[in-house]
Structure 1
Amino acid sequence: MIGFQPKTIYVDVDDVVSRTTETYPDVVAQEFGKTVSLEDLTGFDLKLCFQLTDNEFQYFFDLVHQSDFLLGFDPVEGAVETLKAWADRGHIIDIVTGRPTSAQDATLAWLKKNGVPFRGFIMVDKYNRPGNDMSLAISKEELSMMDYDLAVEDSPDMALFLARDMGVSTALIHKPWNRKCTIHDNLIRCISWNEIYPMVKELALEEYE
């Protein structure tokens, strides 16, 4: 294709490609007898949202990052289809996750199981989690040296980092925990992948304006 320039796209995993957090209220209800709805998760601090003690949260965190649990998630509607369409058109997709490095094998297995196309798989220490193997993950500073044309995120802090600090056009998938995300010119709030899909085409059109 004459003049075609592939776009490089950053795609987060949890709640962007994988239906992750929506499974958590059932886990907390079963394990701790607490009733908390998905809409109640208005912040990114799950320990606070679920009102868990330090020990309870550690147990919960370890439980939801077990391989069998991670492999059981369903894909987000429209995510795999959109990524396949982009990949078929020659665009470059990097899966960029802030999951703990212990989840690497299970995450790769989930991506393969669900047919998610990608060029690179990058683990980033997005949240300064203790215990991460930094031979497997990169820092946010290292991430900031990479070039992306578009990013898809649900974390308000990471979306703002991408939009403001890295200058990346960022699609923020609307979730209860990012309602208060700071507004930025590079940040576009999207309800679903139906709204995200045409963003790559719009980026390509900008080259000819």
Structure 2
Amino acid sequence: MKNLNICIDIDGTITEPYFWLEFTNKYFNMSLTEEQVTEYDIHEVIGVEEKVFLEFYEKYKFKIHSEQKLREDVESVIKRLNLIHNIYFVTARDTSLSMVTHLYLKNNKINYDELFLLGSHYKVDKAKELNCSIFIEDNYNNALQLSNEGFKVLLLDTNYNRKPLNENIIRVYNWKEIYLIINELFLQSKAM
């Protein structure tokens, strides 16, 4: 039996948070930079109606999600964590991306126990169902929802989530830091 139940978002959390910028700039004939991405909702960043952005996304989502680059140290950290903890990927992706997501994780040698594609940004119920010990996320609103329900959240720093945090959210800057914090929390839980 493994120790902690670690829930992890995918896009912007294990992947580079601005992976979509190249596709979006090309499609919409723009030249946005990472520094200009100060909102989570991409249609707001590029200044188009959500419907227009969703048409673009539906057309290119399989290509975008199969070509994303991993954040540094993701593979090695998750591999070490998965030796003694359960790893659950909990993503807002819809089920049409199930196969491409499984293949992406496999091709990038990411160890995990289960994958949940919710089709919604609301993750609280799944976190409760999984008895989540800690949730790793990049979406500020998701982090607030989860933390307000009592979950400990590690929020990976991005330009679009630099807002005030509460006592259940820890801002982190890389996966090595995540590894150290999870080990510390695990050791604290064992001492109790």
TM-score by length of 1: 0.83
Matches of 1:126 and 1:145 in 2, distance apart? 16
Structure 2 residue 180 is matched with structure 1 residue 184 = no
2:134 alignment partner AA: L
Describe the superposition over 1:157-209 as per-residue Cα deviations: whole angstroms up to 9, x where unpaired: 111122121x12111000111112x4211100001112111122112221315
Which residue is equivalent to 1:136?
Answer: none
TM-score by length of 2: 0.90
1:63 alignment partner AA: K
Structure 1 residues 200 and 55: CA distance shift in structure 2, 3 A: closer
Higher relative contact order (CA 8 A, sep 6+): 2
Q: How far does residue 103 in structure 1 lie from its aligned partner after superposition?
A: 0.9
Matches of 2:64 and 2:21 in 1, distance apart? 14
Matches of 2:170 and 2:23 in 1, distance apart? 31
1:76 to 67, 71, 75: 71
2:152 to 160, 169, 173: 169
Which residue is equivalent to 2:178?
Answer: 196
Which residue is equivalent to 1:43?
Answer: 39
2:98 to 91, 97, 104: 104
Q: Which runs of 4+ in 1 moved over 6 A?
A: none
Alignment length (residue pairs) = 191
Structure 1 residues 108 and 49: CA distance shift in structure 2, 3 A: same
Tell me which structure has the larger Cα radius of gyration.
Answer: 1
Matches of 1:119 and 1:127 in 2, distance apart? 21
CA RMSD in angstroms comes to 2.0
Matches of 1:10 and 1:44 in 2, distance apart? 20
Structure 1 residues 140 and 126: CA distance shift in structure 2, 3 A: farther
Structure 2 residue 13 is matched with structure 1 residue 7 = no
- Give 5+ residue unaligned stretches, structure 1: 129-138
2:136 alignment partner AA: V
- Give 5+ residue unaligned stretches, structure 2: none
CA contact (8 A) 2:124 2:146 kept: no
